[in-house]
A = this chain, B = another copy of it.
Amino acid sequence: MVNKVKFERENVVRVASQLFWEKGFHATSTRDLQEAVNMRPGSIYSAFGSKEGLYSESLKDYTVQMKSQIDGFLSSSDTTLGGLRAFVENVVIKNKDCSPSAICMLVKANNEFADKNSSLYELSLDLAAKFEGYLTVLFEQAIAKNELSDKLTAIEYARFFQIQFTGLRGYFNRPGVELLAQPMINQMFALMKNL
């Protein structure tokens, strides 16, 4: 090795991820990114190949961060459902200010890329499928621990959770409805236990 890379790849991806999450792919220019990560175009392009390449790595990193955030809530909660609930409450209620958007970046990606043949659309599908798999494992545990009945399968609970969660995040992505969030989350988990 003759010369080391100066920047810290992880930090760059994380900063880019925040910007892409907030503004979306098309509304984020490469000059926005250059300023945010403090790199010149040549360095960015030698490290990530293209704007799409950097977005791709940003979206992958987003899902890794989200999963490890959930794992954190799970390990400081007695029950699987309690951990999931803490995560939902944190996303929908607590960090509305420090988070770039109330909407999941994966959902935003899936909504933005209309061309079903584009590689970024396919990536969003792939990451969403993997996240559903991750959730399914969690719901398998919840069923095994008798936190949920076994009338539904784990993947059915995972689907229900995603639909509720996405719906809630969309609805609370607006001003003036903050007080409704907690009751709606309570309702979501109450419904899930009675499915």
Interface residues of chain A: helix, strand, loop or mixed (majority): helix
| 8 examples of A-B residue contacts, CB within 8 angstroms | A24-B24, A24-B112, A110-B170, A110-B174, A162-B171, A163-B170, A163-B171, A166-B171
Of A9-17, A83-91, A100-108, the one touching chain B: A100-108
A: which residues have CB within 8 A of B? 22-24, 26-27, 100-101, 103, 107-108, 110-112, 114, 125, 128, 159-160, 162-168, 170-171, 173-175, 180, 184, 187, 191, 195
A171 and B191 in contact, given A27-B114, A103-B111, A111-B111 (Cβ under 8 angstroms)? no
| A114: B residues at CB distance < 8 A | 22-24, 27, 100-101
**In the complex, A23 Cα to B111 Cα: how many Å?**
9
* Shortest beta-carbon distance from A82 to chain B in Å: 22
| A101: B residues at CB distance < 8 A | 111, 114
**In the complex, A175 Cα to B184 Cα: how many Å?**
29
A159 near B174: Cβ-Cβ < 8 Å: no
A163 near B191: Cβ-Cβ < 8 Å: no
**In the complex, A79 Cα to B18 Cα: how many Å?**
46
Seed contacts A107-B111, A112-B112, A187-B195; 19 additional CB < 8 Å A-B pairs = A22-B114, A24-B26, A24-B111, A26-B27, A27-B114, A100-B114, A101-B111, A103-B111, A110-B170, A110-B173, A111-B111, A111-B173, A128-B174, A162-B171, A163-B167, A163-B168, A163-B170, A166-B170, A167-B168
Which of A24, A101, A128, A168 has the largest count of B CB atoms less than 10 A from its CB?
Answer: A24
**In the complex, A114 Cα to B112 Cα: how many Å?**
13
